[in-house]
Amino acid sequence: EVQLVETGGGLIQPGGSLRLSCAASGFIVSNNHMNWVRQAPGKGLEWVSLIYSAGTTYYADSVKGRFTISRDNSKNTLYIQMNSLRAEDTAVYYCARLLAPAGHYAFDIWGHGTMVTVSS
């Protein structure tokens, strides 16, 4: 079964760091374009970061310089290292696969999400 499972969320103080993990099953992370998308409480979806299968990475302006996306091929797992966390980073963080059916990129597989709360 194709599946993504996120872990690592929790309560963290402003300025702190946290690393989220996303374990994949049913497909190979390194052969796919993988993303992090977040959703603040009661708000909409916000794309956060992307790592292409070739390894190129991209970030939303709101997290650039603070977050780092990476993957461990041996563990088939995606990560995001979040530093200098702010209250506005509080959200459910989803990992999602980006596929290009018919040449149009779309997020076809999503994890269940992990909650990150930044508060003192």
Partner 1 sequence: DIQMTQSPSSLSTSVGDRVTITCRASQTISTYLNWYQQKPGKAPKLLIYAASILHSGVPSRFSGSGSGTDFTLTISSLQPEDFATYYCQQSYTAPPYTFGQGTKLEIK
Residue with tokens 């497909």: 27
String of DSSP letters for 21-80: EEEEESS-GGGSEEEEEEE-TT--EEEEEEE-TTS-EEE-TTTTTTEEEEEETTTTEEEE
Give 14 or 105: the residue with its C-beta nearer to partner 1.
105
Contact status: 45 vs partner 1 (CB under 8 A): yes
Number of neighbouring beta carbons within 10 Å of residue 4: 23
Q: Write down the least CB distance from residue 106 to partner 1, Å.
A: 4
Report whether 86 contacts 53 (CB < 8 A). Answer: no
Number of chain positions touching partner 1 (CB under 8 A): 23
The interface with partner 1 within residues 48-107 (CB under 8 A) comprises 50, 58, 60-61, 94, 98, 101-107
Q: Write down the least CB distance from residue 86 to partner 1, Å.
A: 19
Name every residue whose Cβ is closer than 8 Å to that of residue 110 and which is 6 or more positions away in sequence. 4, 37, 94, 95, 96, 97
The interface with partner 1 within residues 16-35 (CB under 8 A) comprises 35
Contact status: 44 vs partner 1 (CB under 8 A): yes
Contact status: 47 vs partner 1 (CB under 8 A): yes
- Which positions touch partner 1 (CB under 8 A)? 35, 44-47, 50, 58, 60-61, 94, 98, 101-108, 110-113
